[in-house]
Structures are given as structure tokens and as C-alpha cells.
Amino acid sequence: MMIASLLMTASLLSGAQDTALAPPSGPHRLAYTHTDSNQVAFIDLAALQRTGDVVETWGLTVLSRPLTPFGSPPAEVFWTRIRIDCAARVGRFTHAIAIVDGAVAFNQPVAMRDTPAEGSWALDEAYACRNETPTRPVEEDSAAAIAAARALMAGEASAAGD
């Protein structure tokens, strides 16, 4: 399942809580976890927080066209708080922050069911749970990651692929 599909599913389950987190400010170590012509996703290895078998961190997703998950305004860039249960091999989004024109346009916890780590969570799990080394370069800056993601989606780079 693609990340955009997961975001849309999570939007249907969005919680009504009002606890907002600040978007992560860095330093970052953004590792590619999904790339195709419609979206590029990263996991922030610098933000990993482990509690037993559970890892929480930030993800950055850049979409090729605006989407409105979680009741957000149309946005192409989302910071998402993610939770991966390494023992159960499942992941889920727990918070979403939509960025529009460089500013926070939406910031809210989301309720989402656990999704098996195979498929869309596979690289997130590999990096977060098994400390595997990313095969692609890791982006150290969110603006550079967004620019690289847009270039990939536009076909300007040859590294696209899951």
C-alpha cells in the first residue's frame, strides 16, 4: 500500500484530540523509504526514540500533487509522527502536520490501525528496528529532501523506485 493511501486511510480515522506537536527542526538524517512518480517518503533516523520493542520517529512525505488527508487543507508536504512495533512488525501514523508554503497548515494527532510492516513500512522497519544502513544517500536537511523528492517525481533523477 502506498503512503498516500495510508494517509487517506488514516484521515478517515483521524482523532479529535487537540494536542499539537511542533514540526521537527533537526538535525535530520532523512532516509528514503518509498519513491515513485506520485510520492517520496523519508524516515528521520536522527529522531528515533526507542522504548522496548517500539520505535517512534518522524517521517517526511512529499506528494506530486496536493492531498487533503486528516481534514487538512490541500498539501504536498507532510511531517508524520510514526510508531513501529518491532516485535509485532507493524507500523502506524500517530500525528500529522501538513506544510503549505513553508508554514504549518494542519497539526493534529491521528488515530490509525496498525499496518503490517511488509510493503509500505518495510524500509522504515528495517532502518528503525534492525539498524540496517540505507542504500541511498541520507538527506541532512528537510528543504534539500523536499527538493530531491520533487526532482525524483519529475523524473529528473534516476534513483526512483521502491
For the segment 51-63, what is each residue's pLDDT rounded down to a tens digit? 999 999 999 999 9
Paired sense of beta strands 54-67 and 39-44, if any:
antiparallel
Share of the chain above pLDDT 70, in %: 84
Number of Cβ within a 10 Å radius of residue 86: 17
R_g of the chain computed on alpha carbons: 14
- What distance in Å separates the CA atoms of residue 134 and residue 13, rounded to the nearest whole number? 31
- Domains plus CATH for the chain? 3-153 (2.40.128.710)
User: In this structure, are residues 47 and 68 in contact, taking their beta carbons and an 8 Å threshold?
Assistant: no
For the segment 95-152, what is each residue's pLDDT rounded down to a tens digit? 999 999 999 999 999 888 999 998 889 999 999 999 999 999 999 999 999 999 999 9
State which H helix or E strand residue 150 sits in: helix 142-153
Whether the per-residue pLDDT at 12 is higher than 50: the answer is: no
pLDDT at residue 119, as a whole number: 82
pTM above 0.75, yes or no: yes
